[in-house]
Amino acid sequence: MKEQILSLEPTDDLQLLRDKITRVQAGRLILLWPALTEPINRRLDFALLRRWAAMAGSELILVSADPEVHRLAAQTGIPCYPSLKETALYGLSPHDRDFSRGFTVRQKQARPPAPLRINFSDRHSPAVRIGVFASAILSLLVLFLLLVPTAQINAVFPSRAIEVSKPLDPSLCALISTHLELSSRLETTGFASVPIAYANGIILLTNKSSRILNLPAGVRVSSKGSIFLETTDGVILLPGKSQSVAVRAIKSGPSGNLAAGTIDHVEGPLALSLEATNPEPISGGAQAWRSTVAQTDLDALRTTLTDQARQEATTGMQNLATAGRTLVEKSMQVQFDPLDAADFPVNTPSDTVGLTLHATASALECPTDIVRSRAQNVLVSGLAAGETLYPASLTLRLEENAQGAIDLHASGLAVKIPDPNVMALALRARTPGQAAAIMRSRFGALSVAGVDLWPAWIPVLPLFPYQIEIAAGRG
């Protein structure tokens, strides 16, 4: 039988030892065991040495002076001798003993340790392995059924409406404002005979003074102090001289038409130096029927724009209100500029009339979270025993009263819902039908809209109450 002697290094560990043994190509392996830096002193380690040698097709023999190595070798069935010279080759063939006299220990270059692989296939039968695998799968399934499933029960319980009003501290609210400008135009509805042209003609001015008069346009003359006209051109008059000048009536219409010789007066201080007369008639003044601005037109314009301003002010206040704040109803005020007027007064000839209004709108806003919290507290204080405020039913409204204070109006629904933990404890491990019946008979539910299980294929509700959710609705 071919033998191979392998000497361990003091720094070898179990991994390096495994690597050396598995590379042996001899029927008998004699392992020289010195004192190791990291002792291999477990029975399992020696059992692995024997297995690795068997896997390599070798008989393992140990040579060591360490009593602990002898003890562990004896426990694992490995032959162990105190020295190579005296006993290691005892009983071997003469050829083996001759070989031992001049042996040289060949050590292979250490390679990185290979991962430790232990094959248990020879220990357990297929039936055992299948049983272990099935047990693991069953354990995972049981754990899944215990922890993963959930259920939601949608039930409707009796309810009643509640409503309260409470004053709110005005200091919580703030004033916001915005500016508006609105314009509109409409067709006039008035109809009247109105002046449409000015009377005009020629007058004769005479300088009665001893000085030269340089007269600008606009010298006014009249007929018996009632009908006024004014010159349209300037003129220079020498003392005692006369000159013709064009004139036009101050007011339009036929009232400015005058017969010849009816102008007899110069207005103002120039009356001391001038004389005026009209050698020819003054004519051309006329009137006709035209559409005019009526008072009802102005009233309609102002009413329309006022209503529009209030609507836009409401929208503007809502848009201006910051996030998380609520407007106070009836606190909005709209103030209009008193100087705003239509572009034409009443009786003015015109087919249309327009108006532009300027306004300032203001309102109060309050923090929604504080208002909602106070409203909820007030409603909860009015609940009877066993009742719960249905969260989705809470509504609130802020209103400014006639005294200028702010009133909080809150309303909601009080639902009589039993303790969800008690219900979940009573419903666990029940079928959906049984759970619905218990909800109606024991806990007073008006109806059960559904029992939703997840996964859908499980036949009963979960075992643990915390996996069951009760979604309560109002009736």
Position 66: which residue type? D
pLDDT grade, residue 121 (50/70/90)? Answer: very low
Residue type, 252: S
For the ranges 33-37, 129-133, 196-200, the one whose mean pLDDT is highest: 196-200
For the chain, which residues make up each domain, given as ranges?
A: 3-101, 120-146, 171-188+293-363, 192-290
Res 299: pLDDT: 94
Q: Contact 474/154 with Cβ under 8 angstroms?
A: no
Q: Token pair of 80, please?
A: 């162990």
Encoded amino acid at 388, one letter: T
Tally of CB atoms within 10 A around 18: 21
Task: Say which CATH architecture domain 192-290 belongs to.
Answer: Beta Barrel (2.40)
Neighbours of 276 (CB within 10 A): 24
| In the predicted structure, residue 236 carries a pLDDT above the cut 90 | yes
DSSP 124: S
| Number of Cβ atoms within 10 Å of the Cβ of 190 | 19
Predicted pLDDT at 281: 95
Strand partners, 62: 31, 80
pLDDT of residue 86: 55
Amino acid at 177: S
pLDDT tier, 20 (very low <50, low <70, confident <90, very high otherwise): confident
CATH class of 3-101: alpha beta
Q: What is the pLDDT of residues 423-440, one digit of tens each?
A: 989 998 899 999 999 998
Q: What is the tens place of the pLDDT at every residue in 312-335? A: 888 888 787 777 888 888 888 899
- Record the pTM: 0.44
